[in-house]
Amino acid sequence: MANKHLTGSGFDLPVAKETFDAYVADMGLSDRLTFAPGSFFEDPMPQTDVITMGHIVHDWDLETKQMPLEKAYQALNPGGALIVYETLIDDDRSQNAFGILMSLNMLIETREGFDYTGADCQGWMADIGFKDTYVEHLVGPDSMVVGFK
């Protein structure tokens, strides 16, 4: 198994623990991955070097979108990184039709959720204190925004 020196933790609602533990055990990673119960609406995130948030931030209005980013900043050790991946809309809103349709979908499924551009997320991160942010396209319609504390 690659990168045996790495360890990790999944931070999620307590109800997800059983599913998390079963999946981790099936992957043979129980000695490297642990579960940290909590809600970023109510609890601080565990201190760490890297935090990933996938398809989470687009669920809410602008103010609520910024809250988990702020909590991630507080939880990161100096030099740590936040990675946010979503179906980002391209900055000029002309190329990623799937991202624009996903934003419409979020407005239908949630009260105030919406997808956003990489530049939007970089701006929110910069306002919080993240440095050296960048956007990188991933496979398919997804991209990630990375910011360093």
Helix %, strand %, coil % for the chain, to 5?
A: 35, 30, 35
How much of the chain, in percent, has pLDDT values that exceed 90? 71
Model pLDDT, residue 30: 96
- Number of Cβ within 10 Å of residue 87's Cβ equals 22
Residue 143 structure tokens? 């991209």
Whether the per-residue pLDDT at 108 is higher than 80: the answer is no
Mean per-residue pLDDT for 62-72? 95
Mean per-residue pLDDT for 127-141? 95
Model pLDDT, residue 145: 98
Whether the per-residue pLDDT at 6 is higher than 80: the answer is yes
Residue 58 a catalytic site member:
yes
Whether the per-residue pLDDT at 102 is higher than 80: the answer is no
Whether the per-residue pLDDT at 100 is higher than 80: the answer is no
Mean per-residue pLDDT for 113-134? 95
Mean per-residue pLDDT for 25-37? 96
* The model's pTM: 0.89
CA pair distance 48, 16, nearest whole angstrom? 20
* Catalytic residue (choose from 5, 55, 58, 137): 58
HSE-CB at 129 with a 13 A cutoff on CA atoms is: 12
Model pLDDT, residue 1: 67
* Identity of the amino acid at 18: E
Domains identified in the chain and CATH numbers:
1-38 (no CATH), 46-148 (3.40.50.150)
Tell me if 58 sits within 8 A of 88, measured CB to CB: no
